[in-house]
Amino acid sequence: MEISVLQTARYAYKPKLPPAFLKPVAAIQTSLGKPTESAGDQEELKRIFPLTYGKPIAGFRAGKNPEALKKINVGVILSGGQAPGGHNVIAGLLDGIKKGNPGSKLFGFLGGPSGLLKNAALEITPRLIDQYRNTGGFDIIGSGRAKIETPDQFALALKNARDMDLRALVIIGGDDSNTNAALLAEYFASRGSDIQVIGVPKTIDGDLKNEYIETSFGFDTAVKTYSELIGNIARDANSARKYWHFIKLMGLAASHICLECALQTQPNVALISEEVEEKKQTLARIVENICDVIALRASRGLDFGIVLVPEGLVEFIPEMKKLISALSDLLAHQASTFAVLPSLDDQIRFVTENLEPESREVFSGLPHGIKRQLLMDRDPHGNVQVSRIETEQLLTAMTEAKIKEMKDSGAFKGTYTTLSHFLGYEGRSAFPSNFDADYCYSLGYTAFLLIAGGLTGYISAVRNLAHPAKDWTPGGIPLTMMMNLEQRHGSKKPVIKKALVDLKGRPFKAFAAKREKWARETLYLYPGAIQYYGPAAVADQPTKTIILERGSVKAPQAAAAKKSAVKVKPAKEKKPAAGGSAAGKGSKKAAAKKAK
């Protein structure tokens, strides 16, 4: 099989490791702290997890651990959406297992959690993993979104794990999958099984994080891939000076991706869903705000710009959230009537007639294409699939209508042409950045050390990530510690708390402090493609989010980045060669003159 030059080179890349990993595995012991409490609802969670609740945080120290040398079988599952680095988690896990005992085996369940239920597994040998080291995707064993939910499924999972004589099961997934890992750990223990369950924090969305999990893997590579593309589009926009680009970015609920990309590229507008919700901004207000920036730039002769839109935005806009929930209810309750309506127009009429007045008004005001998406793209439970709504197109259509109004009334003098983009799948299976390659390998190796330490119901955690890998601290966090109860499908369920963008946090504050300047002027940054080789300041930088959240002034990574950053004075907005309008400071006067 032919493979690319970069792929060949990446096979040989050796992830950078915390020094603890260089010791023989039988010389590493777990060190346990004090019992812990869950993030909320302690009493209820103690009842739900009587055997695994409140375990101590685990670290590692030098000491004898003959258990690590035992011959064992381990199962691994990749769960949910792809995230760069998944193969390296498996590589780190396998290398740890084989270091313990070359006769130990790692089995990968095929196609996600359903592989465990179907007993569909593949042995991951050193030879096989060598074809996947430091590469993106989850194609080594595939992934899936199935959940292990019913009592029968739990029993089947245990039976199959026992039949394969597993000592442990490693679940690589997001908040839901790690919640599932916690439930499985408790279930196995409650049935007298000593099969251990260890989770690994994965998701490009970056919303599986807390005081102890500094970031989920994949976020770093995904945001760098999107930022490269946004930078390229921005440079094109700044060259052609005729388009406003609306770029929707993946990241289902939280806006971490959008925020990080904004910090990396300095767009004219970046919407942050969490802020929209807190300020209770209506769709009309959001459109007005964007149009204010478009008009301001037009008054300076800048008829182009970049707007970043987080994927989950519509669910954070109060009236849209209400509409989506009303639609989901209506379509669920009237499923049979709705199903026989012959055309989209009939469906739109039916929905309009049956919605409450407030939601009816919102629905009626939406462009036809968005109405279609709201009615047609629904999940198997009848819920509207928010991620499929083309918010970027909704915003281009609505800003175009608003700018036309402004033009008609003489309030807008420029030209306004839009283009829309969606960046999502482009980043989920990219070659992992050095950060993700290193971090993921460490997460996998840590998972093995937690297994060798006899622990269950833990998530693999590697901390101090704003610093170089030699200063990282591996350990394990009890899954119950990250949990609380939340309303899901009509009843309270234990879940790992999703981390949304903290509006009081440093990344958001850094963005908020600069955004007006970015709106007015053209200060785009062009991060370029991820670099896999070269100086650490270029190739090993973590995200700005990590540096802002976890770095201190002394953090070497942050300091190195600052030192190596070339300060370039932004070029003054200048008059386009021909036919364009003047821009920059001096152009304000010109624009005002023109307006007169």
List, in sequence order, every residue forming a beta bridge with 475; answer none if it has no partner: 461
Tell me the window of 29-37, 127-135, 202-210, 487-495 that interacts with ligand FBP (CB under 6 A).
202-210
Q: Which is nearer to ligand FBP, 88 or 456 (CB)?
A: 88
- End-to-end distance of the chain based on CA atoms, in angstroms? 68
- Integer Cα distance of 425 and 430 in angstroms: 9
- The minimum distance between CB 311 and ligand FBP, in angstroms, equals 6
Residue 5: which residues within 8 A CB-CB, separation 6 or more?
none
- The minimum distance between CB 182 and ligand FBP, in angstroms, equals 17
- Among positions 252, 283, 307, 348, the unique one binding ligand FBP when judged by CB under 6 A: 252
Q: Angle of helix 391-408 relative to helix 368-376, nearest 10 degrees?
A: 160
Dihedral angle computed from the Cα positions of residues 439, 73, 179 and 316, in that order, rounded to the nearest 10 degrees? 40
HSE (side-chain half, CA atoms, 13 Å) at 212? 25
- The minimum distance between CB 387 and ligand FBP, in angstroms, equals 4
DSSP label of 55? P
Give 165-196 as a DSSP string: T-SEEEEEE-HHHHHHHHHHHHHHHHTT---E
Judge whether 205 counts as a catalytic residue.
yes
Tell me the window of 78-86, 193-201, 337-345, 410-418 that interacts with ligand FBP (CB under 6 A).
78-86
Q: How many residues bind ligand FBP (CB under 6 A)?
A: 13
Q: Which is nearer to ligand FBP, 65 or 82 (CB)?
A: 82
Query: Would you tell me how many other CB atoms lie within 10 Å of the CB of residue 504?
Result: 6
Tell me the window of 198-206, 433-441, 451-459, 477-485 that interacts with ligand FBP (CB under 6 A).
198-206
Q: Which is nearer to ligand FBP, 133 or 428 (CB)?
A: 428
214 binds ligand FBP (CB under 6 A): no
- The minimum distance between CB 39 and ligand FBP, in angstroms, equals 19
- The minimum distance between CB 545 and ligand FBP, in angstroms, equals 16
Strand 196-201 versus strand 168-173 pairing type: parallel
b/e burial code for range 76-115 (CB count within 10 A of at least 16 → b): bbbbbbbbbbbbbbbbbbbbbbbbbeeebbbbbbbbbbbb
- Integer Cα distance of 566 and 282 in angstroms: 40
Q: Which is nearer to ligand FBP, 266 or 545 (CB)?
A: 545
- The minimum distance between CB 89 and ligand FBP, in angstroms, equals 13
- Pick the catalytic residue: 175, 176, 205, 540? 205
- Integer Cα distance of 9 and 23 in angstroms: 27
Identity of residue 582:
A
- Integer Cα distance of 264 and 275 in angstroms: 19
- Among positions 15, 18, 75, 81, the unique one binding ligand FBP when judged by CB under 6 A: 81
Q: Look-up: residue for tokens 């478009």?
A: 294
Q: Which is nearer to ligand FBP, 28 or 496 (CB)?
A: 496
- The minimum distance between CB 388 and ligand FBP, in angstroms, equals 9
Residues numbered 304-333 forming contacts with ligand FBP, rule: CB under 6 A: 311
By the 8 A CB rule, do 224 and 525 touch? no
Q: Which is nearer to ligand FBP, 203 or 480 (CB)?
A: 203
Dihedral sign, Cα of residue 466, residue 467, residue 469, residue 472: negative
- The minimum distance between CB 320 and ligand FBP, in angstroms, equals 17
Strand 105-109 versus strand 121-123 pairing type: antiparallel
Per-residue contact flags (x/-) with ligand FBP for residues 420 to 459, judged by CB under 6 A? --------x-------------------------------
List, in sequence order, every residue forming a beta bridge with 79; answer none if it has no partner: 144
Residues numbered 160-189 forming contacts with ligand FBP, rule: CB under 6 A: 174
228 binds ligand FBP (CB under 6 A): no
- Integer Cα distance of 90 and 77 in angstroms: 9
204 binds ligand FBP (CB under 6 A): yes
Q: Which is nearer to ligand FBP, 381 or 567 (CB)?
A: 381
Q: Quote the radius of gyration of the chain (alpha carbons, Å).
A: 26
Q: Which is nearer to ligand FBP, 18 or 444 (CB)?
A: 444
Residues numbered 231-250 forming contacts with ligand FBP, rule: CB under 6 A: 250
Residues that bind ligand FBP (CB under 6 A): 80-81, 83, 174, 203-205, 250-252, 311, 387, 428
Residues marked as catalytic? 205
